[in-house]
Structure 1
């Protein structure tokens, strides 16, 4: 196997450097190969690309706004902060970008049903939305903890016609939801398309989802050049599996003057086993969900328990392209803990009138820290990957407990 050294493209075996591939049980080799071939053809088909671009415009509402966060910038007192407002997309997050692409590809392949995992529920809602719009069935697997934590998104998926499967095994969170969805797909894949929700899994998914999300970075690049007349000094995005981050970073990978920061969840502390999901900081090479990547592992080499206040980041692995970009030093991977995330969540609400997703609030927390260390003539773009409507009841509960009374804030 030859290793790719291209920052953007995997090699013919699906590897970015030492990370990636398609590590599959025998029953999934053929169906994943079918997806790989179908996407390779669709990627070169102008009609497919034009149809997807049209859906992103008229259905998802793209382009999303690049918003100058002037009051937050003034409060921080450093670099000018811009927010890429993926929270304004239809369904409230960046997930609709790749879900429309996956659903369109499924129809092209003649599939009748979409199946997928979800953590915070944003991918599940977006895939259910795309399925409804394009006339496909949909089944979403979700950890039982997240079903309770993200109840509004469960209701949304059901209203959109999706079947929601609550996964009770293991840690009952995102990793188990992926396991469950893969197992179901392996049993019945003839008329089913697996709509993986991030830049993870077997090749071609890390590249395919990245390509579908790359519209975020292309827009941001054009918008900042128009607004400021130059490229930003830094980009910041949260990283669980890493789809919103790769979407933003992709258009800037060749611009060495643009620093990039992927923000992982430190949870209750990276020094506490099972209390964080900081894969880049504490993970080691391993195999997970059909890919070779960095994985947080226990003493037996199995994926370890992880924690994040944000369900969408509660994952013991990371996309293989991220692992590669970390290894070669192109992207800086940092962390934000639960407390800093909650503080950033509240500050954006009060200074800009925007309620961010808890996932996005990790990126925002580091953006606040970073911008405060930079000069006032510098620019930071933070990817606001989703809105926080889904999180408000949970945040209110957490803050009430922290305050020691029944006040939500």
Structure 2
């Protein structure tokens, strides 16, 4: 255990805890008392890792991006979570939580989703395991991620558009929690990121830590050592980032760069850069940094990326920023889109808009030629093609279809 891990009370430093309505106390306590027992059970591990191998297609490659490395003057490896079944890292967590839910006797699965990748992953695993699935998604995101909505419906999930607030991820999470309060006995809430009441942030980080586990093994093979000089990941709620850094938190040789969504700029009033703009508050059952007004009202975040459009941050990342274990960069919409086109042209990989924020961090940090950098491409860009094509049209005044 290192000083950045969660403590026995569910806190990372001053952040975390479980601030929940009384009706959910039994569910959350049951989960808290059992999640580590289940996750460490040999039969759970065997089933989880078998599915990751044969169903998800893990290990995901660690790819040396030679042209990108040349551009930034260091050695850049891409951890290719975009090559997983369903197109993102989200499937790792969905499989783990749904296996856990079955062991706890739950028969109904609910989830929230922003970019749709967590919703698709949850619907996929529910189809595989023959479980009822309800996904809450903000109406704004339903419109901008319609392909993922169609996938969820094809998989048999019920997609519920949410029309409160600015109809994005925060609002979808609110509705999922309301559902959970109404159906606590038979329902398991599969949270898609390292947010929510304890033990969710720790549980999600552990399930996603397969990413850093693989990075260690793959670096030994490719570099003759098991650690990089830098780890880079995008962070909204923070699950792909937590998975990328999990096994390196206590290793001070490894520098951590986290890229959050700057939106139109952190001073524009249209941003989701929670670590830059947030103040300590409570959101969705956790004490963390929250974008909020002077009187404590949660303010609407904005990002071009549906998966980073969240006014809070996982408590693990709030603590890493406060203790300066991680450096956090705000990447604006235009910088993320530019970075996406750069990767596509240099390496033939179209990344998700979320991952493009991590790629945007490369231009904002100096690297030495001997530096080994591992950057997690958390998802693929299929879902974001409308946005990319619009950007191409605006750039060139040509029409791309």
Please, which runs of 5 or more residues in structure 1 have no aligned partner?
Answer: none
Query: Where does 1:46-61 land on structure 2 (aligned, <5 Å)?
Result: 46-61=42-57
**Structure 2 residue matching 1:336: 3-state secondary structure:** strand
Deviation at 1:312, TM superposition (A): 0.1
Residue 20 of structure 2 is aligned to residue 24 of structure 1: yes
Equivalences for 1:1-400 in 2 at 5 Å?
Answer: 6-8=3-5, 10-74=6-70, 76-230=71-225, 231-273=227-269, 275-370=270-365, 373-400=366-393
What are the superposed Cα offsets for residues 309-343 of structure 1, whole Å, 9 maximum, x if unpaired? Answer: 11000000000111111111111111111111011
Alpha-carbon distance in 1 for matches of 2:332, 2:165: 24
Matched position secondary structure for 2:148: helix
C-alpha deviation, 1:292, in angstroms: 0.3
Is the Cα–Cα contact under 8 Å of residues 72 and 362 in structure 2 kept in the other structure?
no
Q: Tell me the distance in 1 between the aligned counterparts of 2:273 and 2:364.
A: 18
Alpha-carbon distance, 1:5 to partner: 7.6
Answer yes or no: is the 8 Å Cα contact 1:81–1:381 preserved in 2: yes
Q: Is the 8 A contact 2:180 2:189 kept in 1?
A: yes
- Deviations along 1:322-370, one digit per CA (max 9) or x if unpaired, are 1111111111111111111011111111111111000000001112443
Shift of 1:12: 2.1
Separation (CA, whole Å) in 2 of partners of 1:350 and 1:67: 16
Query: How high is the TM-score relative to the length of structure 2?
Result: 0.97
User: Contact 2:228–2:373 at 8 Å: present in 1 too?
Assistant: yes
Q: Which runs of 4+ in 1 moved over 4 A?
A: none
What count of residue pairs does the alignment treat as equivalent?
A: 400
- Please state whether the residue corresponding to 1:313 is helix, strand or coil: coil
Question: How many Å separate the matches in 1 of 2:398 and 2:25?
Answer: 53
Q: Does the 8 A contact of 2:2 with 2:250 survive in 1?
A: no
Q: How much does 1:398 deviate?
A: 3.5
The one-character-per-residue Cα deviations of 1:29-65 (angstroms, maximum 9, x if unpaired) are: 1111122223132023111111111111111111000
- Provide structure 2 residue ranges, at least 5 long, that are not aligned to the other structure: none
> In 2 relative to 1, CA 77–294 (structure 1 residues): closer, same or farther, beyond 3 Å?
closer
Q: Note the alpha carbon deviations across 1:115-174, whole angstroms, 9 max, x for none.
A: 010000000000001111111111000000000000000000000100000000111000
CA distance, structure 1, for counterparts of residue 399 and residue 295 of structure 2: 44
CA distances 1:220-242 after superposition (whole Å, capped 9, x unpaired) = 11111210113211010000000
Deviation at 1:383, TM superposition (A): 0.4
For the Cα contact (< 8 Å) 1:264–1:362, is it kept in 2?
Answer: yes
**1:407 aligned partner:** 399
Distance 1:395 1:220 in 2: 30
Distance in 1 (alpha carbons) for counterparts of 2:354 and 2:348: 18
Distance in 2 (alpha carbons) for counterparts of 1:293 and 1:258: 24
Find the residue that maps to 2:300 and give its secondary structure: coil
Q: Give the Cα separation in 2 of the matches to 1:186 and 1:406.
A: 50
CA–CA separation in structure 2 for the residues paired with 1:163 and 1:406: 38
SS state of the match for residue 307, structure 2? helix
Deviation at 1:109, TM superposition (A): 1.1
Is the CA contact 1:237–1:244 (under 8 Å) kept in the aligned structure 2? yes
